[in-house]
Amino acid sequence: MRVVVPFSATEPKTRLAPVLDADERRAFARVMLADVLDALDAVGVDPAVLATEAIDLNRPVTVDDRPLDAAINDLLAASAESVAVVMADLALATPDALDRLFAAEGDVVLAPGRGGGTNAFVARHPDFRVDYHDASIRDHRRIARDAGGTVTEIDSYRLSTDVDEPADLAEVLLHGEGRAADWLRGAGVQLTVADGRTTVERP
Amino acid sequence: MRVVVPFSATEPKTRLAPVLDADERRAFARVMLADVLDALDAVGVDPAVLATEAIDLNRPVTVDDRPLDAAINDLLAASAESVAVVMADLALATPDALDRLFAAEGDVVLAPGRGGGTNAFVARHPDFRVDYHDASIRDHRRIARDAGGTVTEIDSYRLSTDVDEPADLAEVLLHGEGRAADWLRGAGVQLTVADGRTTVERP
């Protein structure tokens, strides 16, 4: 199985601007990537990074500056083996959660993200393709079924949590087991409760 | 095992006011409760409802109008057997997800909710008590460990999704397998994507 982690190296995580400045967002995105790669290493797969521009990393990095759909779909079309794609901002991903993803049966295994996204998948069907726009989980179910493939969905809070917005940082502080949580604490990001909702602040 | 579903019958789900009026919120809360009870029935447990006021339901309802902590803690203190508490607004709960909750080992098994909540738990330790304020998952970990109990957490997107806000309705429309999703569609609630985030509208 080929395991790919797409990484947006150019101005990552702009929606975290209320909490982190541009340099911090870049640094934090790299820490989350490192956590995801560590968790994949621990599962025993060999992840390759697909980045939008060259980054300094002690493992294979393929640079493809096209939009994500084009880059992933070329890869799916060209690969003779099964392909897994795991997003680089799954700061809560653990080896256990990823193990469930890889161990699940089905031609296409989807890990839904909150808000309709698709945070990770395994494609064992030659005709599966991605369409990450809008509520992609619906499109991915349809694409898999239209191709005649069986679809399995993984019920994982950890894999459903991609980190895009300040409130997502609260999830990292509450449940993170990797360096991303430590990085946030080091940056002075703290949990706070406002109007009954848990989010973060930097006092 | 005693399985309890607390239900707030008085003015439920006020944060859904941007989408549903007061009568609709009451009706929708009842539909979600019915979905949760159905899923629990399918697992083979016998859930009892703990409601803040009398409701018409074809199964046992205990009325306790005190705050949730007091009601649950009395129940925990009085019960000789293990106790599970499952929130009534887990509209995505499936028998599979609940089965993982009940099957997990540990003196206290916690199902975290998004935003630091505790959406369900199983307590097999006589001294476990609840404190649902703010980021309760942290308090529940601490209370369990202070009591000398082992803690297990269930990694379930479905159990992490309690339905409080309009964006949560999008999760129900995208992933619901019960009557709550049908009810929303019948009420004209539809998915929409705004600023890259999936939420709902009622056109």
The yes-or-no verdict on residue A197 having pLDDT over 80 is: no
Rama region for A50: left / alpha / beta (φ>0; ψ in -120 to 50; rest)? beta
In sequence order, the β-bridge partners of residue A84 are: A3, A122
Is there a contact between A198 and B97 if contact means CB atoms under 8 Å apart?
no
Q: Which residues from A are below 8 Å from B8, CB to CB? A: none
The amino acid at residue A184 is L
Least confident of A72-81, A153-162, A193-202, B125-134: A193-202
Contacts 24+ apart (CB under 8 A), A95-100: A95/A39, A95/A42, A95/A43, A96/B155, A97/A39, A97/A154, A97/A156, A97/A158, A97/A159, A97/B155, A98/A39, A98/A40, A98/A43, A98/A45, A98/A159, A99/A43, A100/A154, A100/A156
The yes-or-no verdict on residue A194 having pLDDT over 80 is: no
Q: Judge whether A94 lies within some domain.
A: yes
Q: Judge whether B48 lies within some domain.
A: yes
Residue count (chain A): 203
pTM: 0.97
Is there a contact between A157 and B112 if contact means CB atoms under 8 Å apart?
yes
Rounded Cα gap, residues A160 and A121, in angstroms: 12
Overall average pLDDT of the A24-40 stretch: 98
Nearest residue in chain B measured CA to CA from A159: B157
Place of tokens 């925990």: B76
pLDDT of amino acid B82? 97
Q: Judge whether A172 lies within some domain.
A: no
Cα-based distances in Å from A107 to A128, A129, A158, A178, B156: 9, 12, 22, 31, 22
pLDDT of amino acid B133? 86
Cα-based distances in Å from B71 to A19, A145, B7, B29, B189: 38, 47, 11, 20, 34
In sequence order, the β-bridge partners of residue A63 are: A51
Place of tokens 């980054």: A55
Q: Judge whether B108 lies within some domain.
A: yes
Q: Judge whether A100 lies within some domain.
A: yes
| Number of domains forming the structure of chain A | 1
The yes-or-no verdict on residue A99 having pLDDT over 90 is: yes
β-pairing, A197-201 vs A190-194, is antiparallel
Q: Judge whether A198 lies within some domain.
A: no
ipTM field: 0.96
Q: Which of B115, B157, B197 sits opposite A160 (nearest CB)?
A: B157
What residue spans of chain A are helical by DSSP H? Answer: 22-43, 68-78, 95-103, 136-146, 157-160, 166-175, 179-186
- A136 to chain B nearest CA, in Å? 10
Q: Residues of B near A (CB-CB distance < 8 A)?
A: 94, 96-97, 112, 114-116, 134-135, 137-138, 155-161, 167, 170-171, 174-175, 191, 193, 197-198
Rounded Cα gap, residues A120 and A112, in angstroms: 7
Is there a contact between B174 and A94 if contact means CB atoms under 8 Å apart?
no
pLDDT of amino acid A134? 86
B99 within 8 A of B43, measured Cβ to Cβ: yes
B6 within 8 A of B50, measured Cβ to Cβ: yes
Q: Judge whether B170 lies within some domain.
A: no
Q: Which residues from B are below 8 Å from A138, CB to CB? A: 174
Q: Where residue A126 sits, what CATH number does that domain have?
A: 3.90.550.10
Per-residue pLDDT of chain B (203 residues; tens, 9 = 90+): 999 999 999 899 999 999 999 999 999 999 999 999 999 999 999 999 999 999 999 898 999 999 999 999 999 999 999 999 999 999 999 999 999 999 999 999 999 999 999 999 999 999 999 999 889 999 999 999 999 999 999 999 999 999 999 999 999 999 999 999 999 999 999 999 876 778 999 98
Domain holding A109, by residue range, is 2-164
Q: Judge whether A171 lies within some domain.
A: no
